[in-house]
Amino acid sequence: MFGRSNAEDASDEVLNPYDTSQHAEREALLPTSRETEPSLPLEKPRLAVCSKSQFSILHISAAFLTGVIACVLFQVVIYPSCFTGFAHRIQQSNDDVIATALAPPYVGSTEAHHFPPTKPTNAYPSLFPTNVGHAGGTPTGAEPAVIATAPSYPIQKGQCSDKLISPESFEPALSGGKGPEAGVKGKKSKGFNLLRSWGNLSPWYSVDRGTFGLDSGPEIPETCRITGLHFLHRHGARYPTAWTSYGGPAKFATKIHKNPEKWNASGDLDFLNDWTYKLGEELLTPFGRQQLFDLGVSLRMKYGFLLQNFTESDTIPVFRTESQDRMLASALNFAIGFFGYPYEGQYQQSITIEADGFNNTLAPYKTCPNANDGSKSDRGRWYLDRWATHYLRDAQRRLITQLRGFHLTIEDVFAMQQMCAYETVALGYSKFCELFTEDEWEGFNYGLDLTFWYNSAFGSPTARVQGIGYIQELVSRLTHTPIATHNSSTNGTLTDNPITFPLGQSLYVDATHEVVVLNILTALNLTTLAKTGPLPYTHIPKHRSFRVAEIAPFATNVQFQLLACASVPDPQIRIIVNDGVVPLTGIRGCPDQDDGMCPVDVFVAAQKEIIQKTDWVYDCHGNWTIPEGTKWETVTGDSPKAL
């Protein structure tokens, strides 16, 4: 549910109940759609003829009794479960209701389409070369520089040219329209956007100017020019992860598939009677691939001119990602968008290993044991559990009447909301989206804020320590100085090598998970994102500063812009999250500047101080505890320090 959880090590031991490699035989026997009896043509009506009855009352009664007996025998043979133990199935709770039209046995089962075939019979690569020569004229032109030359900045709306379909009932609200359907189930919010109400499962979009407190945009401030860019981004939209703390689409599918003969759906949930689980696990979806391709194209259009520095130094860029499939696929799709095909020879892709025992700033939890202790890393579960019970109470009451014979819990209803988001970014559309009101979607959005605030960001006791390794690398790059001491998640084998960790590049691109992006933003001490925290579980605060949909959605991206300005003497840096400029006033010494700029040397000095105060050994390996819930809080992502 929550992307790369800090407790994900546990996922290595959890079997996916719908892993087709484990259930291949069963799945092969299950139909992929509901089978119905073919309809027979209606007979032509006959004219009534007045005539003397040919049968007596005795004949008619005997025929009727024979028909009744035949029907009963037919039911016993075809549906024996309707009669077995009937006396024991008197309704005692909602679990015990026996529906009149039962769901078919395949409901909730996994449906998978394996492409490409492992050994296609018509594959002859030698007959289909990718380069046959005769390319024609190939003179190149100047690199684009939209960030510096265009009169306005290109805005990302989040849908990649409307490739995702929203429910019809949401469309007026999405377009800002008015009327009875401007929202769902009676609500009339003008600015509601379903795709921006899914927390970390939302597609990334350009946040509004001023979202983080500055009336400034990502375009270059007056008198300034761009000298470099450090670009950090998340992977694109994916299938659900193997591990989930609360909810989980696969868990819900498993539950409804377990006893389909006991329940029946109606009304808004009627589609469940034929529904199968069509989601994979952790891989990028087609839309996710599109997101990263578009992100690559967008960055080339804005900052392509920075490649001139590589031409002048006779070098090529080094971009980084890590070994998980969705991470590598994201990086390569980004590269195709940025460099075009073929991208070989235009850059080098560093692939760091995400596995236990490997230091990796893009997956720091693998070497931080306390980040895998649920009492520390999954604090958000306590808050989410209580919040979901509050905001989904009405939805549970409404839906439970349309799912007779099924014990529908609050967690199941939350999983339905997750299913909406996951099916939309994987399949393009989801019927689950139509089940909830705008208020309930706002509740879902806030539930994910609670989760990530307490698990991965300013409310987490292990957030800063996990982000500190990347901060060390950032300082190393900004100062063109190798890392002197490896005392966190930095990997000395890679960062001590100027080929695999070059210094002095004008462009850096790193791909990671949303939890790590949040770790890094926390470690940087961007206090404006935390000013309304800690987050309560009893209500949604007005004008809250921390929204995961704005900070860490699918394909979220952070620009560290480096600038030289005629109006100030020193090189400047500023941080832009999803096209929103973030104030740096929480960083010691950085001024309250209209465009969010801070002198690079001041920024670096403050980050060195944070690095020096962060204790990797104690925070990651120390034997410390914290109580659950509101009995202990932090708004800096720090652990409780030893006395």
pLDDT tens, residue by residue, 125-136: 888 887 888 888
72 — phi, psi (to 5°)? Answer: -65, -45
Q: For the residues of 126-139, what is the DSSP string, one character each?
A: GGS-S--S------
Residue 36 in this model has a pLDDT that exceeds 90: no
**What CA–CA distance (Å, rounded) separates 252 from 406?**
12
Which range (103-117, 260-274, 330-344) has the least confidence? 103-117
Task: Give the tens place of pLDDT for each residue, 529-572.
Answer: 999 989 999 999 999 999 999 999 999 999 999 999 999 999 99
What range does the domain containing 465 cover? 460-621
Which range (2-6, 250-254, 270-274, 373-377) has the least confidence? 2-6
| 532 to 141, 212, 453, 463, 546: CA distances (angstroms) | 49, 12, 11, 18, 7
Would you say residue 636 lies in a domain?
no
Q: What is the pLDDT of residue 103?
A: 74
Residue 163 in this model has a pLDDT that exceeds 90: no
Q: Share the mean pLDDT of the chain.
A: 84
Residue 101 in this model has a pLDDT that exceeds 90: no
How many CA atoms lie within 13 Å of 365's alpha carbon, on the beta-carbon side?
28
User: 210-216: long-range contacts at Cβ-Cβ below 8 A with a sequence spacing of 24 or more?
Assistant: 211/550, 211/580, 212/528, 212/529, 212/545, 212/577, 212/580, 212/581, 212/582, 212/583, 213/528, 213/545, 213/583, 214/581, 214/582, 214/583, 214/594, 214/595, 214/596, 215/594, 216/581, 216/594, 216/595, 216/596
Can you give the pTM of this predicted structure? Answer: 0.81
Q: What is the pLDDT of residue 138?
A: 75
Would you say residue 594 lies in a domain?
yes
How do 403-404 and 507-512 pair as beta strands?
A: unpaired
Task: Give the tens place of pLDDT for each residue, 402-430.
Answer: 999 999 999 999 999 999 999 999 999 99
Whose CA is closest to 602, among 631, 636, 567, 571? 571
Q: What is the pLDDT of residue 558?
A: 98
Q: Which residue has the higher pLDDT, 41 or 620?
A: 620
Cβ atoms of 378 and 5 within 8 Å: the answer is yes
Q: What is the pLDDT of residue 142?
A: 86
CB atoms within 10 A of CB 12: 10
The structure tokens listed for 16 are: 């996916």
User: Residue 470: what residue type?
Assistant: Y
Would you say residue 481 lies in a domain?
yes
Q: Which strand (E) or helix (H) includes residue 558?
A: strand 557-565
Residue 93 in this model has a pLDDT that exceeds 50: no
Would you say residue 10 lies in a domain?
no
Would you say residue 132 lies in a domain?
no
Task: Give the tens place of pLDDT for each residue, 610-642.
Answer: 999 999 999 999 999 999 999 999 999 999 985
Residue where the block lists tokens 């349309």: 402
Quickly state the pLDDT bin for 63 (edges 50, 70, 90): low
The structure tokens listed for 452 are: 């990530």
Q: What is the pLDDT of residue 290?
A: 95
The structure tokens listed for 268 are: 């808004």
Q: Which residue has the higher pLDDT, 356 or 643?
A: 356
The structure tokens listed for 227 are: 């000298």
Q: What is the pLDDT of residue 94?
A: 42
- Mean pLDDT score, 192-196: 93
Strands (E), 156-307: 224-234, 264-265
Peptide bond into 117 cis (omega under 30): no
User: Residue 225: what residue type?
Assistant: R
Would you say residue 604 lies in a domain?
yes
Which range (81-95, 259-273, 411-425) has the least confidence? 81-95
Q: Name every residue whose Cβ is closer than 8 Å to that of residue 468 and which is 6 or more positions away in sequence.
A: 488, 489, 523, 610, 611, 614, 616
Residue 84 in this model has a pLDDT that exceeds 50: no
CB atoms within 10 A of CB 618: 16
Q: What is the pLDDT of residue 64?
A: 59
**What CA–CA distance (Å, rounded) separates 130 from 65?**
76
Q: What is the pLDDT of residue 468?
A: 98
What is the domain-level CATH number for residue 570?
3.40.50.1240
Would you say residue 464 lies in a domain?
yes
Residue 372 in this model has a pLDDT that exceeds 90: yes
- Mean pLDDT score, 79-100: 40
**What CA–CA distance (Å, rounded) separates 512 from 391?**
32
Cβ atoms of 370 and 621 within 8 Å: the answer is yes
Q: What is the pLDDT of residue 121?
A: 82
Cα angle 571, 577, 582; round to 5: 60
Would you say residue 313 lies in a domain?
no
Cβ atoms of 296 and 303 within 8 Å: the answer is no
The alpha carbon of residue 459 and the mean position of all alpha carbons in its chain are separated, in whole angstroms, by 20
Whose CA is closest to 472, among 350, 609, 324? 609
The structure tokens listed for 226 are: 């761009």
Quickly state the pLDDT bin for 46 (edges 50, 70, 90): very low
Domain count within the chain: 1
Percent of the chain with pLDDT over 70: 79
User: Residue 121: what residue type?
Assistant: T
How do 507-512 and 224-234 pair as beta strands?
A: parallel
**What CA–CA distance (Å, rounded) separates 577 from 556?**
8
- Mean pLDDT score, 463-471: 98
Q: What is the pLDDT of residue 371?
A: 96
- Mean pLDDT score, 15-41: 37
**What CA–CA distance (Å, rounded) separates 399 from 395?**
6
Percent of the chain with pLDDT over 90: 68
SS3 for 224?
strand
**What CA–CA distance (Å, rounded) separates 512 from 330?**
9
Q: What is the pLDDT of residue 589?
A: 97
SS3 for 619?
helix
